[in-house]
Amino acid sequence: MLDNAAPAITGDETLATLLVRNATQYGSEIAMREKARGIWQEMNWADYTQEVIHCAAGLDALGIRPEQAMLILGDNRIRLYAGMAAMGLLRAYAMPTYTGATLEELQHFVGEVPVAAALAEDQEQVDKVLDLRQAGADIAHIIYDQDRGLTDYDAPGLLSWEGLLEKGAAALAADPDLRDRLINASGPDDPAVFMHSSGTTGKPKGIVLSQKNVISAARNGHAGGAFNENEEVLAYLPMAWVGDYALTVAAAIAYRFTVNVPERQETVLRDMCETAPTFYLAAPRSWDNILTTIQVGIENSTWLKKKLYHFFMDRAVAAERRKLNDKSGGAMEPLMRLFGEWIIFGPIKDQFGLSHLDNAFTGGEAIGEDTFVFYRALGIKLRQLYGQTENSAFNAIQAPDEVNLHTVGRPLPGVEVKITEDGEILLKADSVFAGYHNNPKATAETLKDGWIYSGDAGYLEDNGQLVVLGRLSEVVYTAGGERYVPNYIENRLKFSPYIKDAAVVGAGRDQLTAMVCVDAEAVGHWAEVHGVPYVSYADLSQRPEVAELLNEAFARVNKALQEPLQLHRYVSLHKEFDPDDGEITRTRKLRRKVVEERYANVIAALYDGSEQVHVQAIVAYETGEKGVVERTLAIRKV
């Protein structure tokens, strides 16, 4: 078929056939862009497909067989993406990992399936694989992308990406049928990627998503209006997060996105500006960060600019709030919008690379009303997306002009939703996985009759909008029998720009209390502006002035809570929760058990009426060393 309109995706394609389709019909369109040595190096679909096939042939020549796995270690890189796609061709598992993953976490992954190879970004990641080997893992081949610092390495099985492609090219030249065999080897039910659950409770569970899963998820997302063809996207999400795979691999191949890979993690903001993506998915945390940066920038700005900003922004925010409450605005509103767009909103969006955005999403957690309304006021049609790894990231999205804060929108076409009597959300779709890897017990708990038990509590409104309340397993009761979801209250606390993380305790107690971590950047800036001296994060967190700031945030949250669920006492912790310390997951979800264990004495002090508590915390540094921090924390009443 050579006409220009792409045939609709049915979900029965494979990554290989889609790649070949892109290479033959849209060969000159840009598939990938990567910032390297100061400029965006472009790769079109023909070259990218060629690279994937050569890589697959090379891996095949190395002896990678179906059911074997390859670890993917590193930040987003074109070659790592190509390697992931190549594993799909070989019916083998591509297993992406978080860059910051510790040795123990990796060892757990290696124990699940025979890991035959590792694709590492650079020397740092190669070292990690060598550590794994030393710890007993049998990883035969290590392929690396960047050779800096690796010239003197003589570990067996170490191979450069170029070397791998050469092997592939040689194999393809020697066997003319190999190319067709590679393209046709995989079917829709063969694996696309080996993901892991986030592991808020216990060890991460292995989740194999088949090609049918990920491609139908892309199809559902497209049908539901989440994205169009040829979107411009920025590949900055961690590769081990399902959202990244679903967008920058599955949807990108199915709907021919141009994927822009930033130079480094530190340059994402700048690269974002140069890319000006048309589609952007970010966690509420990232949206909050951009909001904080904008507000801090305005606060540092001059009198005139500040006045103009507040003049237009306050009105636009008020207009958005009216819209949320289904009230109509005044006659002046469109005019204000027009001028505001020209004078304030347009330039701000432009500075952050948000000006070309057609589809903006927040997902993973609830988003704060202030943040949400701010972006709508800025003219960005921010929408909520509800998804999970087990369902290849796409469950439900909001429509652009049908927005409520408390709903996550309608289920996507192709996704059936049912609510159990307990209030649990059940989902059924082509994109739902076939079961946890080698974990029949967990599978049986989650998958029943093709319905996946999401573990989320929620309900469907009469107009078909889905409401997600929180994790079902997190619903707990106070001593007085009050039912609540800690996460729900924590999110409300975190809506304050000054609170980065929070842990609410109170299960089985007579009242609720909280531990919070202040946001170093926002509070630090506030302290600077208000002349509050401090020497370190720990010092800042204990300042009485900061406590007043936190009091305001708590008072606001308490106002929205029923009497028995109000927070009574809190402590501002001396360090932020850190995934390296195991307190939060790499996607920044709270590991409640770990936190409650580690801060047991703080929690005890919160309830025994003492004024302060002495803590000794073990800190894991990035080098792997451990240190001890001692502090006296003040316990404050709301």
Residues that bind other proteins (CB under 8 A): 33, 38-42, 269, 273-276, 293, 297-298, 300-302, 305, 308-309, 342-344, 346-356
**Closer residue to other proteins (CB): 33 or 315:** 33
Q: Tell me the closest approach of the beta carbon of residue 273 to other proteins, in angstroms.
A: 5
Q: Tell me the closest approach of the beta carbon of residue 543 to other proteins, in angstroms.
A: 25
**Closer residue to other proteins (CB): 98 or 352:** 352
**Backbone φ/ψ region at 323: left (φ over 0), alpha (ψ -120 to 50), beta:** alpha
**Closer residue to other proteins (CB): 340 or 506:** 340
- State the amino acid at position 589 in one-letter form: K
Q: Tell me the closest approach of the beta carbon of residue 304 to other proteins, in angstroms.
A: 9
Q: Tell me the closest approach of the beta carbon of residue 280 to other proteins, in angstroms.
A: 12
- Where are the strands (E) in 37-179, listed by range? 39-44, 69-73, 93-96, 115-120, 141-144, 158-160
**Closer residue to other proteins (CB): 38 or 531:** 38
Q: Tell me the closest approach of the beta carbon of residue 93 to other proteins, in angstroms.
A: 34
Quick one: DSSP state of residue 205? P
Containing 245, the helix (H) or strand (E) segment is none
Quick one: DSSP state of residue 248? I
**Closer residue to other proteins (CB): 357 or 366:** 357
Burial 394-423 (b: 16+ CB within 10 A, else e): bbbbbeeeebeeebbbbbbebbebeeeeee
Tokens 């451990």, residue located: 626
Q: Tell me the closest approach of the beta carbon of residue 288 to other proteins, in angstroms.
A: 16
**Closer residue to other proteins (CB): 175 or 528:** 528
**Any residues with CB less than 8 A from the CB of 89 and at least 6 apart, and which?**
15, 16, 52, 53, 56, 182, 183, 185, 186
Helix crossing, 15-25 with 45-62: angle to 10°?
A: 140
Tokens of 107: 């060892």
Cα–Cα dist 599/160, whole Å: 46
Integer angstrom CA distances of residue 523 from 296, 310, 418, 496, 539 = 11, 21, 43, 11, 12
- State the amino acid at position 67 in one-letter form: E
Phi, psi at 299, each rounded to 5°: -60, -35
**Closer residue to other proteins (CB): 297 or 329:** 297
- The full DSSP string for 295-346 is HHHHHTS-HHHHHHHHHHHHHHHHHHHHHHTT----TTHHHHHHHHIIIIIH
Q: Tell me the closest approach of the beta carbon of residue 398 to other proteins, in angstroms.
A: 25
SS3 505: strand
Quick one: DSSP state of residue 590? B
SS3 445: helix
**Closer residue to other proteins (CB): 49 or 275:** 275
- State the amino acid at position 175 in one-letter form: D
**Closer residue to other proteins (CB): 350 or 552:** 350
**Closer residue to other proteins (CB): 225 or 297:** 297
**Closer residue to other proteins (CB): 305 or 569:** 305
Q: Are 445 and 388 in contact (CB under 8 A)?
A: no
**Closer residue to other proteins (CB): 309 or 372:** 309
**Closer residue to other proteins (CB): 352 or 394:** 352
Q: Tell me the closest approach of the beta carbon of residue 79 to other proteins, in angstroms.
A: 18
Cα–Cα dist 120/502, whole Å: 35
Quick one: DSSP state of residue 421? T
Quick one: DSSP state of residue 9? P
Q: Tell me the closest approach of the beta carbon of residue 289 to other proteins, in angstroms.
A: 12
Q: Tell me the closest approach of the beta carbon of residue 292 to other proteins, in angstroms.
A: 12
Q: Tell me the closest approach of the beta carbon of residue 160 to other proteins, in angstroms.
A: 25
**Closer residue to other proteins (CB): 87 or 268:** 268
Q: Tell me the closest approach of the beta carbon of residue 347 to other proteins, in angstroms.
A: 5
Q: Tell me the closest approach of the beta carbon of residue 145 to other proteins, in angstroms.
A: 20
Q: Tell me the closest approach of the beta carbon of residue 506 to other proteins, in angstroms.
A: 40
Cα–Cα dist 270/276, whole Å: 10
- The full DSSP string for 519-567 is -HHHHHHHHHHTT---SSHHHHHH-HHHHHHHHHHHHHHHHTS-GGG-E
SS3 385: strand
